[in-house]
């Protein structure tokens, strides 16, 4: 068994440390590192890794890109390494088709175990408690939140998404509740802090 890994992280120092540690492990070989998510598909096609170990904030755009990536490249296994173990992150990576989600708080040996089990075909995800499931933003809620961050009114959101204003208001109330915010602005601020939303 020889596991070829591609490492993806926007922090160069983290990439170097992971590469150094992982290459010391028997049967594991880091065949490449990447700090820019935009070139990921090209890098995968070029190097044909068995597993991509990826660390990035789970923004809506990344959820979509991850899903497209997995659909376009068969037999690819992706392990998400994240600083945050939020239920919505775990849920999003699972739905997108990743093979595992592991917190940066875990030990290096737990990371090695996860990589090896994923190579063997297992899926490894932290358990989401039942009382946390209703706190996960839906895709539509994420789309509405993005438009709120763009300072669009309920009417403008309604027009763009072709849904009623009442439906928009319902989703906004749900977003505010799930993010423990007190207002639309508070929901945006919380979402940015948790990596659910980026402002460009």
Q: Write the pLDDT tens digit of every residue in 189-200.
A: 888 877 677 665
156 and 102 within one domain: no
Residue reference for tokens 């706190």: 135
Is residue 147, in this structure, part of any structural domain at all?
Answer: yes
CB 13 within 8 A of CB 21: no
- Pick the last residue of a domain from 95, 110, 130: 130
92 and 31 within one domain: yes
150 and 125 within one domain: no
Is residue 10, in this structure, part of any structural domain at all?
Answer: yes
Summarize pLDDT for 82-125 with one digit per residue, the tens: 887 777 778 777 877 889 999 988 999 999 999 999 999 999 98
How many angstroms separate the Cα of 89 from the Cα of each of 13, 32, 33? 24, 25, 23
Is residue 200, in this structure, part of any structural domain at all?
Answer: no
Question: In whole angstroms, what separates CA 67 from the centre of its chain?
Answer: 10
116 and 54 within one domain: yes
Which residues have CB under 8 Å from 66's CB, separation 6+? Answer: 78, 93, 96, 97, 98
125 and 142 within one domain: no
Domain that holds residue 168: 137-193
pTM above 0.75, yes or no: no
> What confidence score (pLDDT) does residue 62 get?
61
Number of domains in the chain: 2
151 and 119 within one domain: no
Rounded Cα–Cα distance for residues 55 and 128 (Å): 20
How much of the chain exceeds pLDDT 70, in percent? 86
Strands 51-55 and 28-34: unpaired
Summarize pLDDT for 21-37 with one digit per residue, the tens: 999 999 999 999 988 87
């Amino acid at each position: 068994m020889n596991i070829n890994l591609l490492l993806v992280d926007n922090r160069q120092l983290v990439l170097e440390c992971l590469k150094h540690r992982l290459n010391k492990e028997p049967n594991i070989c880091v065949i490449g590192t990447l700090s820019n998510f935009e070139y990921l598909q090209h890098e995968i096609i070029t190097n044909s890794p068995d597993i991509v170990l990826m660390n990035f904030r789970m923004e809506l755009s990344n959820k979509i890109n991850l899903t497209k990536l997995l659909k376009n490249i068969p037999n690819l296994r992706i392990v998400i390494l994240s600083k945050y173990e939020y239920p919505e992150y775990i849920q999003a990576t699972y739905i997108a088709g990743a093979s595992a989600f592991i917190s940066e708080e875990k030990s290096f040996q737990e990371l090695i175990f996860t990589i090896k089990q994923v190579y063997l075909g297992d899926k490894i995800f932290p358990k989401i408690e039942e009382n946390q499931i209703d706190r996960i933003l839906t895709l539509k809620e994420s789309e509405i939140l993005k438009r709120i961050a763009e300072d669009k009114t309920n009417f403008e959101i309604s027009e763009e998404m072709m849904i009623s204003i009442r439906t928009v208001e319902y989703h906004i109330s749900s977003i505010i509740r799930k993010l423990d915010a007190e207002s639309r602005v508070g929901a945006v601020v919380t979402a940015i802090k948790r990596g659910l939303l980026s402002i460009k």
